[in-house]
Structure 1
Amino acid sequence: MSFFNWWNFALCSGLILGVTVVVYVQDRVGWWQADVALTATMALSLVIFLAGRPFYRYREPEGSPFTPMLQVVAAAMAKRHLPLPSDARELCEVPKTQMTSKRLLCHTNKLRFLDKAAIIEHEHDEAATAGAGKQNPWRLATVTQVEELKLVLSMVPIWITVLPFGICIAQTNTFFVKQGSVMDRQIGNGFIIPAASIFSLGALGMVISVTFYERMLVPFLRRVTGDERGVSILRRIGIGMAITTVGMISAALVEMKRLKVAEKEGTIAVSMSVFWLAPQFIIIGVGDGFALVGLQEYFYDQVPDSMRSLGIAFYLSVLGVANFISSVLITVVDRITSRGGRGSWFAKDVNKSRLDLFYWLLAIMGTLNLCCYVFLARRYSYKNVHQRRVGVIDSFEDDV
């Protein structure tokens, strides 16, 4: 439960160094010197990785994780006319006395149609279930296989509702940095902050929020609620989404202020300090500490055991698809707002753009989407594992 917190802490610490120290060397010293430093850093990282590789504990792959899910669908369709038993214990499942490295999942009442895949039709199916024969996996599935498919299908609505959050995140390294490039970035006696270094404020906010969450919030909530996690995974994600929406509101207000200053001064570069952008970067960074880390934990913890190697891929797909949707949204908004000779919200001159209206649009989208997310999260059923000993040395699995 702490792994993803500290993993993101280390990741953001490296990000801060990358957009401050490395960017400064590129701007003030030279690009080739910065490239040499980065190459040396990657070489050192590779040495550390190779040194730790012999101590890593691997788990042997058990075939494609998608095949059992297709088998469940095929079996459920083949037995779609059969009535479901009133007692779920009559459905097919691996006996608890049979040693296996796979954790058994408890039966749930959602998506009951798929339960038909575990209906025992014939005596030889029952004998196969007891270990006396071999069952046809395309005709008879176990409750655990059915529940694994239910887990994946239950993730789809959650995955969809976190996409607007990813769209908001996409603005931090695009429009936010573009705003900073035309603001006063001077500190002290002539030192100018590189425009890309502004992004470090978001990473700093994430480092602070992850540390606060891990060291203060979770221990406190454990004592109050008695829950080992302190905050449930989906609740943590929802808190992060709400904070990110507040960050977009902050961005809209700051951009309204910046446009007024630009109109008054009549210049491209305004005298308004770049640190006016600090609140929106830090707020969204704090939201990342809740939502992004929560999404990593969610997709890794709630996928079937055989798909855990794909759990992080599901998380990354949120960011990838959200960036793609963000580009499409910007294109659509640009075409709509530029009709009839009106000025587009995304003009080449940032001072003639209306990024504030775009941020308000994202804030409204985020608010409406948060309502849908809360509705789905309150009805979500977490993975529930049978308490049993499994066939892995020195490993015990408890109810989750």
Structure 2
Amino acid sequence: MEATSSSESPLLTSITKDGCTDLKGRSISRQLTGGWKASFLIIGVEVTERFAFNSIYNNLLSYLTDVMHQSSATAAKNVNVWYGVASMLPLLGAFLSDSYLGRYRTIILSSLVYLLGLICLTLSTSLTFLIPPPCDNTSFFCPRPTAFQMGFFFISLYLVALAQGGQRPALQPFGAEQFDDGDPTERKHKSSFFNWWNFGLSIGLLLAGCVIVYIQENIGWGLGFAIPTVTMAVALPVFMCGTQMYRHKMPSSPVTRILQVFVAAIRKWNVSIHSQAEQSLYVNRGHTETRKLLPTDQFKFLDKATIEIDLDREHRTNIYWRLCTVTQVEEVKLILRLLPIWVACLMYGVVYVQSPTYFTKQGTTMDRRIIGHFKIAAASMQIFITISVLVLVPVYDRIFVPLARSITRNERGITLLQRISVGLSFSVLSMIVAALTEMKRLQVAKEYGLIDTPQVTIPQSIFWLLPQYILLGIAEVFAIVGLQELFYDQMPETMKSLGTALYWSIFGVGSFLSSILISIIEEISSRGKGQSWFADNLNKAHLDYYYWLLAALSALFLCIYLIFANCFIYKKEESKVYGDQEIT
């Protein structure tokens, strides 16, 4: 695209250059739409969604053990499976968003289902006939919930999982699209957007961890779920108030584009791509994509899909399944490059799910007093992850990035892959510290003769757990924000929701892997007369062994990640000129 001439209308110069339109597919003005004003409304929805989701997730283990009378291992597996499903469903939501509904409509529909799930969950935890009777403290007998009670609760729970499966992949790309890639200033704002997105997200987490957990444990579970329901009911109409100012990317069919490349390449498996004539043909063949991608040397077998042969000229009706553009082929390569990074980060997903499960169970055994008789809820310790993020994100965005940028000349300060590697390193360190802290907790329990009395509080402050939470928060600032931006930035233009969904699926698969690990370890460690690492009596369990295992596996996966990251090639876009600026 050539620089805009001075004789052109000011209206034309203000039109977005990255293909964004209004809801009906018409060109829109950059001055009247998008930017921080629109993105803040979208961030507001994310704050509400994270507040609602973590109001459930943070204390779900306690609800399942204390109210639904499940064992610790069973409850932990149920939490991990639910969280895993919730983190995998964005793949379905991304497909619907990218291919059919568009991000805006996906957000609206998902919010309505979310509201329904929260209403059902509030009823499930409020109405007496939906809650099993409490345990008998004299006989220590705990009545099992009926099938109806269990079914209604889990249906409500999975309705929420289904709804966030639509919201998660649509919200973040929709927010990022409010910044025009064709404008140098807005392009820098887009990079900052991911930092402030997580800052806002952390506010939702903080409110859930501080306010809702306390209400659930000290006032009532019903009220604890009713408050997020009300906030979701308010957030939806507020979001819709910004409809006229939002920028949109029209849905297309990314799955079809991917399949076309593989089909075309397979049909030409015996075609050579090494001759100069063919090389020139597939590099320079004309096409109509908004942002053209330049060819790269990885996965060269796919380049055969771009070579036009005599047979292609005879089958013009099915040409898209025989001949693909360079950009189309490079889009598939982008996805293939991200998959090894995805695999290498799976252990980080396993580490991530420890804080609302076994970190919380550790805390319930410890002295939780703060001032006088006031006690902090064990699940509320997760707020220190959030506080770490809230403190470090502004420091990273406003201090570290400008300083690093002046040294590296990289727009982001350091590369996305470098940022992720720092976060993965901190996650390994958090598991090492968690193992050492658990060893100390077991030692204190032994010294005070509390091994066989799990109902007695161990005289050790819960704030011994603080370092492992803070380290997870530091890891989140680097790894999670880096992964979010990587899977958004390196995905094709038509597959941004899919990129966000792939990022979330790291934690879904990680949660499933955590459940599998728990099941395997529980089976092996409890054979014969052995004591399970996950015994209900944590004073006889060995969570320290579990944390050491996670630290070792995380270190191994970090090494694998560094190998894959060293081979990673960032996407290369054709240089374009917007106004007086060249954008690559």
Structure 2-normalised TM-score? 0.63
Which of 267, 277, 291 does residue 78 from structure 1 map onto?
Answer: 267
Q: 1:323 is matched with which residue? A: 511
> Equivalences for 1:160-309 in 2 at 5 Å?
160-267=343-450, 268=454, 269-309=457-497
243, 246, 252: which one aligns with 1:53: 243
Query: Where does 1:113-124 land on structure 2 (aligned, <5 Å)?
Result: 113-122=301-310
1:398 is aligned to 583
Shift of 1:103: 1.1
**CA separation of 1:343 and 1:26: change in aligned 2, threshold 3 A:** closer
- Aligned partner (choices 258, 264, 280) of residue 69 of structure 1: 258
Cα deviation, residue 123, structure 1 = 9.5
How many Å separate the matches in 2 of 1:108 and 1:232?
Answer: 19
Aligned to 1:90: 281
2:338 partner amino acid: M
1:11-70 Cα offsets, whole Å, 9 max, x none, are 1111111111222233334444444433332233223211122211112223x1011221
Q: Which residue of 232, 250, 255 maps to 1:42?
A: 232
**Paired position in structure 2 for 1:356:** 544
Which whole-Å CA distance do the structure 1 matches of 2:407 and 2:212 have between them?
44
Residue 216 of structure 1, CA deviation: 1.4
2:365 and 2:458 in contact (8 A); partners too: yes
Describe the shift of the 1:101–1:188 C-alpha distance in structure 2 as closer, same or farther (beyond 3 A).
same
Q: How far does the alpha carbon of each residue in 1:130-184 deviate from its partner, in whole angstroms, 9 at most, with x for none? A: xxx8770111111111111111111111111100011011111100000001100
Secondary structure at the aligned position of 1:187 is classed as strand
Match of 2:210, SS state, is helix
CA distance in 2, matches of 1:163, 1:123: 44
Given candidates 567, 572, 583, the residue that maps to 1:379 is: 567
Partner amino acid for 2:528?
A: G
The Cα shift of 1:94 comes to 4.6
Amino acid at match of 1:293: V
Give 1:248 shift. 0.5
Distance 1:75 1:355 in 2: 52
Counterpart amino acid of 1:70?
L
Whether the 8 Å CA contact 2:312–2:319 is kept in 1: the answer is no
Task: Show structure 2 runs of 5+ residues with no match.
Answer: 1-190
Contact 1:92 1:119 in 2 (8 A): no
Question: CA separation in 1, counterparts of 2:280 and 2:520?
Answer: 53
Alignment root-mean-square deviation, CA: 2.2
Is the CA contact (8 Å cut-off) linking 1:209 and 1:290 kept in structure 2? Answer: no
Percent sequence identity over aligned pairs? 43
Which of 497, 512, 521 is 1:333 aligned to? 521
Q: Does the alignment pair 1:146 with 2:345?
A: no
Q: Secondary structure at the match of 2:460?
A: coil
In structure 1, distance between residues paired with 2:433 and 2:211:
28
Partners in 1 of 2:501 and 2:483 — Cα distance? 11
**Aligned partner of residue 539 in structure 2, secondary structure:** helix
Amino acid at match of 1:89: S
8 A contact 2:366–2:460 mirrored in 1 = yes
**222 and 338 in structure 1: CA distance in 2 versus 1, 3 angstrom threshold:** same
Equivalent residue in structure 2 for 1:110, among 279, 295, 298:
298
State the AA in 1 paired with 2:267.
A
Amino acid at match of 1:51: C
**Distance in structure 1 (CA, Å) of the matches to 2:444 and 2:580:** 63
CA distance, structure 1, for counterparts of residue 582 and residue 354 of structure 2: 41
The Cα shift of 1:106 comes to 0.7
Q: For the residues of structure 2 that align with 1:124 and 1:11, how far apart are their CA atoms?
A: 50
Unaligned runs of 5+ in 1: none
- AA of the residue aligned to 2:281: E
Moved over 6 A (4+): 394-397
Q: Any conservation in 2 of the 1:93–1:142 contact (CA below 8 Å)?
A: no
**Residue of structure 1 equivalent to 2:203:** 13
SS in 2 for 1:340: coil
Paired residue secondary structure (1:174): helix
How many angstroms does 1:211 deviate by? 2.2
Query: Any idea what SS the aligned residue of 1:341 has?
Result: coil
User: Residue type matched to 2:490 in 1?
Assistant: Q
Paired amino acid for 1:60: M
CA displacement at 1:340 relative to structure 2: 2.9
Give 3-state SS (helix, strand or coil) of 2:459's partner.
coil
CA distance in 1, matches of 2:221, 2:328: 54
SS of 1:136 mapped into structure 2: helix
How does the TM-score come out when normalised to structure 1? 0.91
Taking structure 1 as reference, are residues 160 and 397 closer, same or farther at Cα in structure 2, changes over 3 Å only?
farther
User: 2:199 is paired with a residue of what secondary structure?
Assistant: helix
SS of 1:173's partner is: helix
